[in-house]
Structure 1
Amino acid sequence: MTKDRKTLNTNSNIYTIIYSAIIVVVVAFLLAFISSYLKPAQDINVALDKKKQILAALNIRDISDKEVAEQYKNIVESDDIINSNNQVITKGTKGGENAGFKLNSADFKAGHLALYVCKINNETKYVIPVYGMGLWGPISGYIAIDYDKNTVYGAYFTHESETAGLGAEIKDNVEWQKQFVGKKLTKEGSDGIALSVVKKNDVKDKTTQCDGITGATLTSNGVDIMLKDCLGKYISFLKDK
């Protein structure tokens, strides 16, 4: 007389649950491993892209990745962290990558402000990061200013999900970015940030106003708000001549 052998019922609910749980654990482990393995390379690419954006604000574009690393190291004198009272929280270093360079929008909201001190042709320039919201998602960028702390030397903007040919023009249209060059951040007799983006062909003050993007009013408004809010946090620095 033989005993009946118990076999696993692959049609049971318990089997389905256990099998699904094992698959989820295995997939989660593999994804975590791959993410951990790729993170160093991802971090390098993110840092490189950030350097490209800062250099673009300084009107240095269309160069190789190797040149980006070299130019950034030579041009950036310090990546300081200051607060809204223009007090230095952390002093950056030459070719700065360890102080202000590490900050993001969350740090910015917490009152830690990155300030890049740069040298172009032996002239001091300052680069300030800006963060905001466009029509479909976050927008950001960098504003480079002259030593007078009032004249725009260059600008670069980017986005996460704006519409191609419309809101995406803040990144793709270099000529649109170039119109910021020479504009003033502030003007005499007025408090706060005067630099602004207005509806296309509605510019009344050419010293402080830039044309918006045709067909992308909400994104243009987002850039305008971003400039006023973010640069406004640096007002103590800007007024400290």
Structure 2
Amino acid sequence: MNKNSNTYTFIYASVMVILVAAALALTNGLLKEKHNKNIEIDKMTQILRSIKVEATKDNAENLYKANIKTAYILNSNGQVVDESQEATFGVDMSKEIIRPLEERQLPVYEAQSEGKTLYILPVYGAGLWGPVWGYVSLQADRNTIYAVSFSHAGETPGLGAEITTEAFQEPFSGKVLFKQGDFRSIAVLKAGQKSDNQDAVDAISGGTITSKGVEDMLLSCLGAYKAFFEQVEAEKKEE
């Protein structure tokens, strides 16, 4: 074929376009796969942190498999609607939180600590500059908090971003969600303040809006599991 002909030029250009497009598609696919994997690892790390297990990107998967024994999805009546761990892990709380309560998928992860069952529940809400989220682990009574893990998208360093610190998170341990048989959640109050009808932790100094966001997040998200929590008392009465 004459390399100086228009036909040759057209064919050559077409082949090059196809090759470049294929290379870009392959690169994009590989990068997207790596990005999604990093998101999964980060999620596993946060879930593990809520049961006081520290993980790195190198050991998160193994620790997750060793500690998270089962996972399932509930409806708002506390009934299991899906027992697939993969489906549970894939629930996007940023989408679920805006659905009507009766339509929400409510993930539960179960772990074992010193022979006792822990229930891990995801929470999602809004801070000052963007979303805040996390995981709350409950003891076998589904009332007492074992530990929490919070994160954020863009809260102010030294202020709202302090929700990720041990100083803010540790005081949640041992707090209870129910008082006198009623679901109350946990209040996040200015240091020194107390609530008469619910357990409370200190808010972040200078991070009032983010602290309030965490309080609202816990009330809204954990409140959706109320029927699941109350099953424990119902089971006790049947014994």
TM-score tier by shorter-chain length is 0.7 to 0.9
1:186 corresponds to 2:175: no
What do the CA deviations read for 1:84-129 (whole angstroms, capped 9, x no partner)? 101111013xxx4x02110012134440011101111221000000
Larger radius of gyration: 1
Larger fraction in helix: 2
Unaligned runs of 5+ in 1: 1-26
TM-score for both structures, normalised by structure 2: 0.81
Q: What secondary structure does 2:160 align onto? A: coil
Q: How far apart are the structure 2 equivalents of 1:215 and 1:28?
A: 51
Instruction: Spell out the pairing of 1:1-241 with structure 2 (5 A cutoff).
Output: 34-61=27-54, 63-92=55-84, 96=85, 98-105=86-93, 106-110=95-99, 111-171=104-164, 173-190=165-182, 192-204=183-195, 208-241=199-232
Q: How far apart are the structure 1 equivalents of 2:216 and 2:153?
A: 17
* Matched length: 208
Match of 1:4 in 2: none
Alignment check: 8 A CA contact 2:123 2:136 kept: yes
Alignment check: 8 A CA contact 2:189 2:201 kept: yes
What do the CA deviations read for 1:117-156 (whole angstroms, capped 9, x no partner)? 1111221000000000000000000000000000000001
Unaligned runs of 5+ in 2: 1-19, 233-239
Q: What secondary structure does 1:158 align onto? A: strand
Alignment check: 8 A CA contact 1:80 1:88 kept: yes
